[in-house]
């Protein structure tokens, strides 16, 4: 944990190469760091600053603006329950309450085993299937209390490993194509 | 009185593996791009202009006119806005996951039309599957020769980058989005300059268009502007995807002909929302996302036409999301939740927005939870007036603005609407010291 691994430095460099200005790669590279460590460590952010050519304070200042980026450890599974309007009208708060009871934590907190962090979030764009939630930004709609319990059991037992990667993994599909410049474009 | 036309941007939703290149090609995918490349770029732009394709991201500005404002300089950029985070709006989420090639094709045609050699598609970070599908589709498009170097053997080359957001509603505002794309905090830019088309990404001329706007472009090129304007009315052409949610029997995304259909159709037609759940009554609905003024059932027959909704209704179609609330809904609670959203998402640059949203949330919270004071109603209206001077019920469009971006004046509408239509509910909360719906 800390600095980016050799392989991830390569990925970070490739990402930086996609942009006319290196700083534009900051968020995608921070996602990469979060994929590696589950959250953004100080050493990691300093390393990203080096790679992009800005100060660690600039990295930190930008990272803390964004809700998906965590500068402190979170659980392996980030459980994000929506309570915004469409969900509120369809039992979103009741689902959140159930989640609090089942996981025995308040929103913002992590379970003692370090497995789950619970969050109350704004609309996640699954309003047609309210109430709904996301686990590490993989979506589950029309969630009943029983569904929630089943989901927690499945996650604990590792039965959803294919659907829900550990916290921080944004895209399991990587860009496999270069830019025109790489072909000596014209 | 609902009218039925063949959908444009959602026509492939439900096709098996609709997101793959194979499926897209089987349905005639990338033919629009081939056709566009056989035309001069100006002719492609002229076709989109003639279609009067209004931006589908919320502001409703004609895409063709925006392209015409592009400052002549190199480089130019095209940035696609896939940051959809307006509460109860979930159409772009669907398009990103289900038909990524359509977005990519529309984007490359548009880049060709405006002469951009570099495109960024900014996708809301939370849409993990959408980012995966877009990335996969882009890999396929490059391999197919539909993106990158000398597209389909032509002289036109363009690079496309999928850029993930990281969780901030405000980055949907085009100037905040550009800041974010430059690797900074998502602070909306101070105007002037008013248009990214003049000064945008890295100071260069930049067109920002919404995902659904882009998705219409291949169809317009294939079928011609006349086929597009044959739908709707001259000031509201084509179709639009509406996200219908709340207390309806069948929540979902429905693409309908503009101007010829009404809110009633979307909420009550069996093909769309199919009426209010449990046979209950409709109490009120939100016509255009969290930032819009609410409507009572008396406005159900208003046509889905941005100009009419603004002019006659004093609200907007905005982000294309319609939220139905039944007769058991506590209007204090519903409007409190929307204000809480704005308080959380204010970027903090402007005092009226930052302070006002937090005060309003606190006051609304105490009313809903039984600790409201009689003077709170006037206080709410006073704070609303400070954020958006003259804001009133019945509403007028547009609400006045004292802030850098339109998020500020988006805060009062839920409160002013709920108070305007259901003031007695606020009074009962305060008088009884409890929510009558609990
Ligand atoms: C607070 C705020 C949030 C916005 N969110 C979005 C959004 O999520 N998606 C979007 O396309 N436009 C959004 N917009 C509108 C954009 O600023 C811009 O008008 C739009 O992307 C232009 O594309 P269009 O002309 O194709 O609609 C938002 C505007 C504001 C002020
Ligand atoms: S109005 Fe609100 S969100 Fe917009 S710039 Fe000002 S503080 Fe930020
Ligand atoms: S309001 Fe909950 S997902 Fe949109």
pLDDT in tens, B28-37: 999 999 999 9
Q: What is the pLDDT along chain A (186 residues), one digit of tens a residue?
A: 789 999 999 999 999 999 999 999 999 999 999 999 999 999 999 999 999 999 999 999 999 999 999 999 999 999 999 999 999 999 999 999 999 999 999 999 999 999 999 999 999 999 999 999 999 999 999 999 999 999 999 999 999 999 999 999 999 999 999 887 554 444
With residues binned 3-state (H G I as helix, E B as strand, rest as coil), the percentages for chain B, rounded to 5, are 45, 15, 40
Instruction: Suggest the residue from A132, A177, A178, A181 to mutate for an interface test with chain B (most B CBs closer than 10 A).
Output: A177
Q: For A40-59, what is each residue's pLDDT tens digit?
A: 999 999 999 999 999 999 99
Interacting residues of B393 by C-beta distance below 8 A, sequence separation 6+? B293, B416, B417, B419, B420, B421
Question: In testing the pocket of ligand 2, which one of B351, B387, B405 has its CB within 8 Å of the most ligand atoms?
Answer: B405
Percent share of chain B, pLDDT over 70: 100
In degrees and rounded to multiples of 5, residue B82 shows phi and psi of -120, 40
From residue B138, alpha-carbon distances to A176, B28, B159, B415 in Å are 9, 17, 10, 43
ipTM over 0.95: yes
Instruction: Decide if A125 and B169 are in contact by the 8 Å CB cutoff.
Output: no
- Using a 10 angstrom Cβ sphere, with 0-12 exposed, 13-18 middle and 19 or more buried, the burial of residue B35 is middle
Q: With contacts defined as CB-CB under 8 Å, which chain A residues touch B118?
A: 20
**Contacts with B169 (C-beta within 8 Å, 6 or more apart), sequence order:** A122, B85, B86, B341, B345
Closest partner residue to B142 (CB to CB) among A23, A177, A186 is A177
Helices B100-114 and B41-51 pack at an angle, to 10 degrees, of: 120
Which residues on neighbouring strands pair with residue B164, listed in sequence order?
Answer: B123
- What is the CA(B436)–ligand 2 centre distance, in A? 34
Closest CA to A27 of A14, A16, A43, A36: A16
pTM for the structure as a whole: 0.98
The share of chain B scoring above pLDDT 90, in percent, equals 99
């Amino acid at each position: 944990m800390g600095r980016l691994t050799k392989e991830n430095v390569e990925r970070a460099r490739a990402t930086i190469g996609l942009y006319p200005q290196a700083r534009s790669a900051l968020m995608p590279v921070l996602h990469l760091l979060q994929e590696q460590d589950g959250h953004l460590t100080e050493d990691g952010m300093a390393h990203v600053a080096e790679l992009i050519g800005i100060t660690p304070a600039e990295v930190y200042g930008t990272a803390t603006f964004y809700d998906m980026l965590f500068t402190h450890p979170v659980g392996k599974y980030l459980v994000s329950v929506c309570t915004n309007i469409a969900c509120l009208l369809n039992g979103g708060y009741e689902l959140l309450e159930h989640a609090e009871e089942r996981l025995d934590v308040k929103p913002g907190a992590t379970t003692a085993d370090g497995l789950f962090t619970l969050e109350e979030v704004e609309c996640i764009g699954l309003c047609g299937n309210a109430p709904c939630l996301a686990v590490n930004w993989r979506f589950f709609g029309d969630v009943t209390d029983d569904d929630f319990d089943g989901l927690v059991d499945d996650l604990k037992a590792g039965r959803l490993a294919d659907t829900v990667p550990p916290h921080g993994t944004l895209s399991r599909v990587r860009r496999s194509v270069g830019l025109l410049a790489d072909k000596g474009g014209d | 009185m609902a009218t039925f036309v063949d959908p444009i941007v959602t026509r492939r939703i439900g096709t098996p593996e609709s997101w793959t290149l194979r499926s897209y090609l089987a349905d005639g995918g990338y033919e629009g791009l081939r056709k566009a490349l056989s035309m001069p770029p100006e002719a492609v732009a002229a076709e989109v202009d003639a279609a009067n394709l209004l931006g589908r991201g919320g502001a409703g500005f004609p895409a063709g006119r925006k392209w015409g404002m592009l400052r002549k300089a190199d480089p130019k950029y095209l940035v696609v806005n896939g940051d959809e985070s307006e509460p109860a709006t979930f159409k772009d989420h669907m398009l990103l996951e289900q038909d990524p090639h359509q977005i990519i094709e529309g984007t490359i045609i548009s880049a060709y039309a405006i002469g951009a050699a570099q495109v960024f598609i900014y996708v809301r970070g939370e849409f993990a599957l959408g980012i995966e599908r877009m990335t996969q589709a882009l890999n396929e498009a490059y391999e197919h020769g539909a993106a990158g170097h000398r597209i389909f053997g032509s002289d036109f080359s363009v690079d496309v980058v999928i850029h993930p957001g990281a969780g901030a509603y405000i980055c949907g505002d085009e100037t905040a989005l550009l800041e974010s794309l430059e690797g900074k905090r998502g602070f909306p830019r101070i105007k002037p300059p008013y248009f990214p088309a003049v000064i945008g990404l890295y100071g260069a001329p930049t067109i920002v268009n919404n995902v659904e706007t882009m998705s219409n472009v291949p169809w317009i090129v294939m079928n011609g502007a006349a086929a597009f304007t044959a739908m709707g009315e001259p000031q509201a052409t084509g179709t639009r995807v509406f996200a219908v949610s709340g207390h309806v029997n069948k929540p979902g995304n429905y693409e309908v002909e503009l101007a010829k259909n009404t809110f009633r159709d979307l909420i009550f037609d069996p093909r769309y929302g199919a009426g209010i759940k449990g046979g209950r009554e409709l109490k009120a609905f939100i016509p255009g996302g969290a930032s819009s003024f609410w409507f009572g059932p008396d406005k159900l027959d208003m046509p889905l036409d941005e100009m009419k909704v603004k002019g006659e209704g004093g609200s907007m179609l905005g982000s294309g999301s319609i939220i139905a609330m039944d007769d058991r809904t506590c209007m204090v609670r519903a409007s409190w939740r929307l204000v809480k959203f704005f308080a959380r998402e204010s970027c903090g640059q402007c005092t009226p927005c930052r302070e006002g949203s937090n005060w309003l949330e606190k006051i609304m919270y105490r009313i809903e939870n039984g600790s409201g004071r009689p003077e709170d109603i006037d206080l709410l209206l006073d704070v609303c007036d400070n954020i958006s001077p003259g804001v009133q019920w019945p509403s007028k469009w547009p609400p006045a603005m004292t802030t850098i971006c339109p998020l500020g004046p988006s805060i009062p509408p839920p409160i002013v609407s709920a108070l305007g239509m259901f003031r007695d509910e606020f009074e009962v909360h305060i008088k009884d010291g409890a929510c009558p719906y609990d």
